[in-house]
Amino acid sequence: MLDYEISPAEAALLLKEKKARLIDVREPWEFHTASIVGSVLMPMGDVPSRAHQELDPDERLVVLCHHGVRSLNTTVWLRDQGFEQAQSLRGGIDAWSAEVDSAVPRY
């Protein structure tokens, strides 16, 4: 079984190879402040009502938020719902900006 968290560098490689889908569980204002190209906005509060309609339980999912707390909680919930390949981006978009793409604004 996959770890519950994935590093920004590991996630970047998966995304570059198109082997994962990026799910952003922050609020819309946060997404508009800073986001990663190709990510899907699905605020944490919307996940329970949208996950089973919009996400594939067999797909590799990388879940992100600002610092990694909301995304880890969402990942645990998704795993409990059968999305066994969901992982939280360790450190969130803040770590992504610091370690992978400094063009993504930090806030």
Task: Supply 97's token pair.
Answer: 């900006």
Buried b (16+ CB within 10 A) or exposed e, 7-32: bbebbbebbeeeebbbbbbbbeebbe
82 φψ region: left (φ > 0), alpha (ψ -120 to 50), beta (else): left
- Rounded Cα distance between 28 and 39, Å, is 12
Q: Which of 11, 34, 65, 100 is catalytic?
A: 65
Is 67 one of the annotated active-site residues of the chain?
Answer: no
Catalytic residues: 65
